Amino acid sequence: MGNTADLPHYKFKQALLHGKDTNPAEISRLGRRFLEEGWLNDAIDFFKKAEDSQGLAAIREISIEEGDIFLLRQAIKAGGEAAGEDEWKQIGERALELGKLQFAREAFRMFGDRKAMEKVDQLLEPEPEKIIEAEFEEGDQET
């Protein structure tokens, strides 16, 4: 991450994304700059416009690393292809590692892993602790 001065401002960005006379190579280059700066939603928009499948694949990898199913879904939608079972499994496991339990549960649901879903459900709603009442005999109490 570094200098964002070369990234387009909002109005120019909109003109690039919605204009008819755009250069796919330039759009893709800007998508990579947004990616470098961590502006992932903007990167997705530019990769989609440029039809840059490699750029969208990079976003999918980042979504797995971050355990972020929303990001994965955006990249899937932009690329027009479905996520593979392996992606759902990987993102679910990573989300679980990161403590993103709702993301993990949804990823395991998409993968079809009921056992993993049940494990996450137990983490989301642990069984209440049993209350144990202590009993003291007359001589056990300190005074």
pLDDT at 1 over 70: no
pLDDT value at 116 more than 80: yes
What is the pLDDT, as a whole number, of residue 8? 75
Distance (Å, whole) CA 104 – CA 143: 53
44 or 80, which is more confident? 44
Which residue is listed with tokens 């899937």? 76
| Averaged pLDDT for residues 19-31 | 89
pTM of the model: 0.78
Domain limits, CATH 1.25.40, in the chain: 10-81
- H/E segment holding residue 24: helix 24-37
Judge whether 94 and 132 are in contact, CB under 8 Å: no
pLDDT classification of 21: cutoffs 50, 70, 90 = confident
State whether residue 39 is helix, strand or coil: coil
Taking the domain 10-81, which CATH number applies?
1.25.40
